[in-house]
Amino acid sequence: MRDQIDPSDRWAAGRIANRTDDVRMWKTQLLKWVGAKQRFAHDIIAAFPPRFGTYHEPFLGAGGVLGVLAPKRAEAADSFAPLIGVWQALRDEPATLAGWYRDRWEAAEAGGWAAEYDRVKARFNAGRTPADLIYLSRAAYGGVIRFRRRDGHMSTPAGSHRPIHPDKFAARVAAWHARVQGTNFHARDYAESFARARGGDVIYCDPPYSGSQSILYGAQGFDLDDLLARIARAKRRGVFVALSLDGARASGAAPEARALPPGLFEREVPITLGASMLKRFQMGGQSLAGERVVDRLLLTHDIRT
């Protein structure tokens, strides 16, 4: 009888909450964030089981995959607390979130974009509120929230673009609000998120790139081996884990070309990311045509077999 179970449906026993067969492309962005995966979310989700229990996203960032999946039941987390404050406001107080952005945008329109950006940045460095973070994410150069090594201060200069109009932002908040109603948001380390996943669930991991993101939040001291050990334990409990890793650059070295534990991943799907935002930023805004990046999506189970 076992042979007759469709292997792609192994996660459908019991507490089914989510399905992937009705997921459509969706490009409306809320936050700007380095490494945001929304453009590739459809390809990433296509590798998940068609039906499963709870969806877990321990390295949420701008939630590109969460937004496209719009899960019925999910646990989403990030260790950067002000960012989780933005997500909690999106879910529970969307008008407040839209208002935070509008207040700062209008102050900038009235008093000068550069001066208001610097004011918001200084206030964020003193108080780390989600209200200031949401504006910085839209107004910072390249949408890169980076931190100075010396004192941990957010140090990105203002972007040269005009941040999105508050009416348009409010419309995005409304669209995203509807998509996160099944999700609980937590400010916590990924270790705690892993401990909460049960058999039949899916975890999607998009950790900071240990090779190139040391100026970004949480990338310093991030230990990929610890994450791999937790993935192995989750797999043994019957959790399906998908892991995005910074893959080969067409132009040079592969930062994550390291040996992975044998047998941990049964399948790998290449995801083409296009020109690297971060690299562009580090090069002072020059466009690097041809600097194509391919992310690796590693899967603990091959559900096609």
Ligand X SMILES: C[S@@+](CC[C@H](N)C(=O)[O-])C[C@H]1O[C@@H](n2cnc3c(N)ncnc32)[C@H](O)[C@@H]1O
Q: Which is nearer to ligand X, 36 or 170 (CB)?
A: 36
Least distance CB 182 / ligand X (angstroms): 18
- Give the sheet arrangement for strand 292-299, strand by strand: 183-187, 74-78, 55-57, 202-205, 240-245, 292-299, 267-275
- The candidate with the shortest Cα–Cα distance to 144, out of 1, 295, 284, is 284
Residue of minimal Cβ distance to ligand X: 218
Contacts of residue 102, defined as CB under 8 A and 6 or more positions apart, other chains included, come to 166, 169, 170
> Is residue 211 within the footprint of ligand X (CB under 6 A)?
no
Identify the residue among 206, 230, 240, 293 touching ligand X (CB under 6 A). 206
Identify the residue among 36, 70, 202, 297 touching ligand X (CB under 6 A). 36
> How many residues can be counted in the chain?
305
Residues 87 and 63: beta-carbon distance below 8 Å: yes
Largest pairwise CA distance in the chain: 71
> Is residue 58 within the footprint of ligand X (CB under 6 A)?
yes
Identify the residue among 48, 52, 53, 64 touching ligand X (CB under 6 A). 64
Identify the residue among 29, 32, 47, 61 touching ligand X (CB under 6 A). 61
> Is residue 218 within the footprint of ligand X (CB under 6 A)?
yes
Total interface residues for ligand X by CB under 6 A: 22
> Is residue 116 within the footprint of ligand X (CB under 6 A)?
no
Pick the stretch among 56-64, 120-128, 161-169, 258-266 that binds ligand X (CB under 6 A): 56-64
Identify the residue among 93, 103, 167, 189 touching ligand X (CB under 6 A). 189
> Is residue 62 within the footprint of ligand X (CB under 6 A)?
yes
The values of phi and psi at residue 146, to 5°, are: -120, 160
> Is residue 142 within the footprint of ligand X (CB under 6 A)?
no
> Is residue 87 within the footprint of ligand X (CB under 6 A)?
no
- Which residues of the chain form contacts with ligand X (CB under 6 A)? 33, 35-38, 58-59, 61-64, 78-80, 189-190, 206-208, 217-218, 222
